Amino acid sequence: MVKSEFDVIIVGAGIVGAVLACALRDSGLNLALVEPHPVEPPSERLDTRIYAISPGSAALLANIGVWKTLDQRRICPVYAMDVRGDQGAEIVLDAYQAGVPQLAWILEGNRIQYGLWQAMQNQANLTLISGAKGEGLCWSEPSTSSRRAKLTLDDGRQLSADLVVAADGRASWVRAQAGIEARREDYQQSGVVANFACEHPHRNMARQWFREDGILAWLPLPDRAISMVWSTSDAHTQALLAATPEQLAEQVAQAGRNSLGQLHTLTPAAAFPLSILRVSPIVAPGLALVGDAAHGVHPLSGQGVNLGLRDVAELVKVLKQRGAAHCGDLGLLQRYARARRGDIVTTQTVTDGLHHLFHDQNPVLRHLRNVGMDVAGRIGPLKSWLVRQSLV
């Protein structure tokens, strides 16, 4: 049985976990990253997992050397966003008017993932363990503020580290092993996703409609294509999944007021359940949670992955400035938790509030929320603030 010692073990090589590993390249730390499923090269077909990457997240990807390795032909900048209410209200956010180059970039998830996977292959301070998953996880005596973790893999290997980072998603196995509570509120909705070719050019504009049947978003893709995310009831979800490609394209085009003319379905519809996930605490002696293991938000703002990458940026800063402290020292990790608390709570509160606000069909509330959207669209400083929030 092989036993290996590290400073930090990261569990999960999704986008957030992989970015964390790459960002700690020059930290002087000895790292291990455990991922059960090796990442395969992407095909030419569009991925249904599409991410709106904020400028802050793009800068992080650039700083770790990954952004330049991505196929720039598959990346689409967003120059404007048009948001419509369910009673005619409208707000438009424009990068040019705000004095910024773009609001975001739209990328395919599998291409980001593969770029990160390739970047990690020859990282000197990283042991990449793929094809194995955790079977047991425990920490040494918990009475001290810093304790050593021991991770047993299903192939028999044992790893130990000062710090384990849970980057293994909403159903985090690491979080469960640590006994940390995760409170999940099911929205009784699903996010239906699919990609379409458009009759008319989208002009790099993202579009979003708050409708009686949910929230519909169109994200621009290269070559006159869009990615759709329709947050809607479970019954409507089943109807969309059962539709033929032609029926789906027609329904989505009509729901989007035929803004881009006729649509042609490029990828089959898929769906994922929507919920909010509140986790507390996100640190313990020898443990830190990042990304979806630490929080879950409604996708209406497109902030899920960006929120996780902001976790990474803060945790990297804390670890690099640790001084003589061990990586798993609770006092050190609480600096990370305190720094992230405001951003996480604000993002969850805003997205949850918007979901409930537009899900409620009370006529008075419907009128007030549309008036509020119209007012926000006419106040320059407020629009500028909204743009700045999207850039983080």
Q: Give φ, ψ of 145 to 5 degrees.
A: -75, -20
User: Where along the chain do its domains lie?
Assistant: 3-55+111-184+275-355, 78-100+187-274+361-391
Q: Is the pLDDT of residue 355 over 60?
A: yes
* Type of residue found at 94: D
Q: Give residue-wise pLDDT tens across range 129-149.
A: 999 999 999 998 755 555 799
Q: Which pLDDT value is given to residue 352?
A: 77
Q: Which pLDDT value is given to residue 146?
A: 56
The two structure tokens encoding residue 205: 């504009």
Please list the alpha-helical segments (H only) found in the chain: 15-23, 55-63, 95-98, 109-120, 173-177, 234-242, 245-255, 304-320, 330-359, 363-378, 380-391
4 half-sphere exposure, CB direction, 13 A CA radius: 20
Q: Is the pLDDT of residue 103 over 50?
A: yes
Q: pTM of the predicted model, to two decimals? A: 0.91
CATH fold for domain 78-100+187-274+361-391: D-Amino Acid Oxidase; Chain A, domain 2 (3.30.9)
Distance separating alpha carbons of residues 371 and 90, to the nearest angstrom: 9
Q: Is the pLDDT of residue 69 over 50?
A: yes
**Residues in Cβ contact with 209 at an 8 Å cutoff, skipping those fewer than 6 apart:** 83, 84, 86, 215, 216, 217, 255, 256, 257
Q: Which pLDDT value is given to residue 302?
A: 67
Query: What would the mean pLDDT of 269-290 be, rounded to a whole number?
Result: 95
Mean model confidence pLDDT for the chain: 88
Q: Which CATH architecture has domain 3-55+111-184+275-355?
A: 3-Layer(bba) Sandwich (3.50)
Q: Which pLDDT value is given to residue 182?
A: 95
3-state secondary structure of 110: helix
The two structure tokens encoding residue 387: 């743009």
Q: Give residue-wise pLDDT tens across range 179-207.
A: 999 999 998 899 999 999 999 999 999 99
Query: What would the mean pLDDT of 248-267 be, rounded to a whole number?
Result: 97
Q: Give residue-wise pLDDT tens across range 363-378.
A: 544 544 444 444 444 4
